[in-house]
């Protein structure tokens, strides 16, 4: 190939019925052996993976799919890049699965130094952890201890993981994660997530003023539910991710900052999904100039290596915190070595620029769907995250789950695997940060074709409460 020539990008191909003849029996065995939640009655992922190269997933029947899931965020650079793989293997061979809370090793210290150097201003300390759920729980514990206050202000529509006690109460919806727990969790108050497209007590689509949600906090929550001096901190994502790629306005963040200063509330920023390049910046905090007291990392922080998560905090919050995070598998040397290699790859240049290009392609190619189809209510893109909201009609903006589901099915048949979950009705694309723009543009073209195909014969709708 000539120097400088771009290698041809592999395009997905689906050549069998789905699931194919090899996937079918494996899926049936999974269903027979797993607990009920592992079953996939709506065939959201109708295949069994044989392997991945770059951003292409191949199934055991030889079908290939463009990967717009990225391990739900944990494989931010596609199939694990060689430097991450090498760092993980080397460290694992040398140190084994050592308990870093007790026996430190160089990879833990080196990762801490690099992470703190890259972190938003004021974050000078870290606490090690293993998953997004655990860092949210740790963040809340640290905020309560640092302030001596009990209550956390959260936002309806967020998802913060699957802990039984705290995070179960804050799921995007009352799905199976929260059922039976949410109503029994004390110590939390909620306002609706600031959303310019869809607001409670407003009919039809926005654009709405999303600071209305802070009017609700000031005029209702602080008057009728909890004294401001009882609130330890505000738990929020810089961009709502699972809830549908919603970036609050600058006015929202300014006013939240005013409230926080007035009442001494800490900012606990959940960057489990937005952190380490996903928004086109190293941290989502940079999008809005936020200076959190606590910043929570998971998913993409692992870089496709080994599971790892972290709480970052200020001196005031973490320097004196005795315990509250950790665990046997927190920051094992191989996970640290992989996370460090990933940080270097993302910081080295090229990756964040690619994310900006993916965002521009999404806006250009998918944005016009809103004008083209009555059922496309809103298309939102932030960095390497796209959310498409399907509605029955533009006046009522009633969610259209059947339409959504049919589009997903049409896309899988075309070789595009996006993110969808029964009960969470915002269709999402979550490509690797380094997905070749050509493959991403091809995928967007498939989305346009799939939406047109479903719009030509729309399915009968059902309610989002039908589970």
Ligand X SMILES: Cc1ncc(COP(=O)(O)O)c(C=O)c1O
Measure the CA–CA gap between 279 and 418, rounded to whole angstroms: 18
Nearest approach, Cβ of residue 306 and ligand X (Å): 13
Measure the CA–CA gap between 82 and 338, rounded to whole angstroms: 10
Interface with ligand X by CB under 6 A: which range of 110-118, 155-163, 215-223, 332-340?
A: 155-163
Interface with ligand X by CB under 6 A: which range of 31-39, 170-178, 269-277, 411-419?
A: 269-277
Q: Which is nearer to ligand X, 61 or 270 (CB)?
A: 270
Q: Which is nearer to ligand X, 236 or 444 (CB)?
A: 236
Interface with ligand X by CB under 6 A: which range of 131-139, 186-194, 310-318, 435-443?
A: 131-139
- Contact at 8 Å (CB) between 39 and 46? no
Interacting residues with ligand X between 172 and 211 (CB under 6 A): none
Among 212, 272, 391, 432, binds ligand X (CB under 6 A): 272
Q: Which is nearer to ligand X, 287 or 376 (CB)?
A: 287
Interacting residues with ligand X between 7 and 46 (CB under 6 A): none
Q: Per the structure block, which two tokens stand in for 456? A: 């030509």
Give yes or no for residue 273 binding ligand X (CB under 6 A). yes
Residue showing the smallest CB distance to ligand X in the complex: 132
To the nearest 10 degrees (0 to 180), the angle between helices 333-347 and 106-118 is: 30
Burial class for 349, CB neighbours closer than 10 Å (0-12, 13-18, 19+):
exposed
Give yes or no for residue 136 binding ligand X (CB under 6 A). yes
Q: How far is CA 134 from CA 38, 292, 297, in A?
A: 22, 18, 10
Measure the CA–CA gap between 20 and 113, rounded to whole angstroms: 48
Is residue 157 helix, strand or coil?
Answer: coil
Phi and psi torsions of 108, nearest 5° = -65, -40
Give yes or no for residue 137 binding ligand X (CB under 6 A). no
Measure the CA–CA gap between 320 and 327, rounded to whole angstroms: 19
Q: Which is nearer to ligand X, 306 or 392 (CB)?
A: 306
- Contact at 8 Å (CB) between 40 and 24? no
Measure the CA–CA gap between 369 and 387, rounded to whole angstroms: 12
Interacting residues with ligand X between 51 and 80 (CB under 6 A): 72
Q: Which among 144, 135, 188, 187 is positioned nearest to 162, based on CA atoms? A: 135
Q: Which is nearer to ligand X, 212 or 419 (CB)?
A: 419
> Site mask, ligand X, residues 332-371, x = CB under 6 A?
----------------------------------------
Interface with ligand X by CB under 6 A: which range of 76-84, 156-164, 285-293, 405-413?
A: 156-164
Q: Which is nearer to ligand X, 131 or 306 (CB)?
A: 131
Question: Which stretches of the chain bind ligand X, using CB under 6 A?
Answer: 72, 131-133, 136, 159-161, 237, 241-242, 270, 272-273, 298
């Amino acid at each position: 190939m000539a120097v400088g020539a771009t290698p041809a990008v592999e395009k997905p191909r689906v050549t069998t019925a789905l699931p194919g003849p090899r996937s079918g029996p494996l899926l049936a065995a999974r269903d027979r052996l797993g607990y009920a939640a592992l079953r996939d009655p709506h065939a959201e992922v109708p295949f069994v993976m044989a392997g991945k190269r770059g951003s292409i997933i191949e199934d055991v029947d030889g079908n290939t799919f463009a990967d717009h899931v990225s391990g739900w965020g944990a494989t931010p650079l596609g199939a694990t890049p060689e430097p991450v793989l090498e760092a993980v293997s080397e460290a694992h061979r040398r140190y084994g699965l050592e308990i870093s809370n007790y026996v430190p090793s160089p990879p833990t210290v080196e990762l801490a130094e690099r992470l703190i150097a890259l972190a938003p201003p004021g974050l000078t300390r870290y606490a090690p952890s293993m998953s997004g759920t655990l860092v949210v729980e740790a963040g809340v514990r640290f905020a309560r201890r640092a302030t001596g206050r009990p209550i956390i202000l959260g936002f309806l529509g967020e998802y913060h993981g699957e802990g039984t006690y705290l995070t179960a109460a804050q799921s995007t919806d009352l799905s199976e994660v929260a059922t039976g727990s949410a109503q029994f969790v004390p110590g939390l108050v909620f306002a609706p997530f600031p959303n310019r497209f869809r607001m409670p007590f407003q009919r039809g689509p926005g654009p709405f003023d999303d600071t209305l949600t802070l009017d609700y906090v000031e005029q209702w929550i602080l008057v009728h539910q909890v004294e401001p001096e009882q609130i330890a901190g505000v738990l929020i994502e810089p961009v709502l991710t699972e809830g549908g790629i919603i970036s609050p306005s600058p006015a929202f963040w300014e006013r939240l900052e005013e409230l926080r200063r007035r009442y001494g509330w800490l900012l606990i920023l959940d960057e489990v999904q937005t952190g380490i390049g996903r928004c086109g910046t190293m941290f989502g905090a940079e999008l809005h100039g936020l200076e959190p007291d606590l910043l929570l990392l998971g998913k993409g922080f692992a870089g496709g290596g080994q599971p790892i998560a972290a709480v970052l905090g200020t001196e005031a919050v973490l320097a004196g915190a005795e315990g509250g995070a950790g665990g046997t598998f927190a920051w094992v040397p191989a996970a640290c070595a992989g996370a460090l290699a990933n940080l270097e790859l993302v910081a080295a240049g090229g990756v964040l620029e690619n994310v900006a290009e993916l965002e521009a392609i999404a806006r250009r190619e998918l944005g016009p769907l809103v004008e083209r189809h009555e059922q496309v209510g809103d298309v939102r893109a932030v960095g390497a995250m796209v959310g498409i909201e399907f509605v029955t009609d533009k006046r009522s903006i009633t969610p259209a789950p059947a339409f959504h589901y049919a589009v997903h099915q049409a896309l899988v048949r075309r070789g595009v695997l996006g993110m969808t979950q029964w009960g969470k009705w915002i269709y999402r694309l979550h490509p690797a940060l380094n997905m070749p723009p050509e493959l991403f543009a091809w995928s967007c073209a498939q989305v346009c074709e799939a939406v047109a195909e479903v719009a030509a014969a729309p399915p009968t709708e059902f309610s989002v409460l039908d589970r």
